[in-house]
Chains A and B, each alone.
Chain A
Amino acid sequence: KAGVTQTPRYLIKTRGQQVTLSCSPISGHRSVSWYQQTPGQGLQFLFEYFSETQRNKGNFPGRFSGRQFSNSRSEMNVSTLELGDSALYLCASSKGQGASYGYTFGSGTRLTVV
């Protein structure tokens, strides 16, 4: 079956611009989480959505936002991009919420801010 699909794979943006990243979860998965990965900070949790509602949120500024649609697809948006936002952004989906479910990660979107 198809895995978690993230688009685009690579993106180059200019400081001050905004960007939207997309994530299509595995069919039947209703939970979607987003992570930022950088060499210095490692994998950092951004937010998690289940049934179009944000369930958990990490410690990121308000420039980072997300949403989930009724078909479970999710988008995250970063406004007013800064150089430090350059990172690999990973999306993960899970069948449900809670402890019984593992998360399947996509291959990520590599964002470079210049």
Chain B
Amino acid sequence: DAKTTQPTSMDCAEGRAANLPCNHSTISGNEYVYWYRQIHSQGPQYIIHGLKNNETNEMASLIITEDRKSSTLILPHATLRDTAVYYCIVRFYAGGTSYGKLTFGQGTILTVHP
């Protein structure tokens, strides 16, 4: 599975959009981008995933560049409860039983300030 690079930490003001970048320059055609977050002392929470098109759900938006070498997770209106570690993960999937492990890196510590 391709490696990802994320900033160690980021700050965001409450009510503003939080834009979390992720670099995955070695991503291959069969690798999906996933985002999870982990709030202190809880299990990770799935946020969103995508292959090449931009995706949006009730939690966030995922913007993937055209060359797929980087992506950005957008939390449109950050709240204090969004303070967490955010993990960008690239996972191989070729259909059926051919898929890779969900491998977590160090992630980005996002702190939302009042």
Residues of A within 8 A of B (CB): 4, 33, 35, 42-45, 48, 50, 55-56, 58, 90, 92, 97-99, 102-108
Contact = CB atoms under 8 A, between A and B. Distances in A.
Interface of B: 32, 34, 36, 38, 42-46, 49, 51, 87, 91, 93, 95-97, 99-107
Nearest to B34: A102
A107 B46 CA distance: 14
Contacts, number: 57
A47 to B, nearest CB: 9
Given A92-B43, A103-B36, 8 more contacts: A4-B43, A45-B103, A55-B99, A90-B43, A98-B93, A98-B95, A99-B91, A107-B42
Contacts of A102: 34, 46, 49
A105 to B, nearest CB: 3
Majority SS of interface residues in chain A? Answer: strand
A42 B99 contact: no
A25 B42 CA distance: 16
B49 A99 contact: yes
Contacts of B46: 102-104
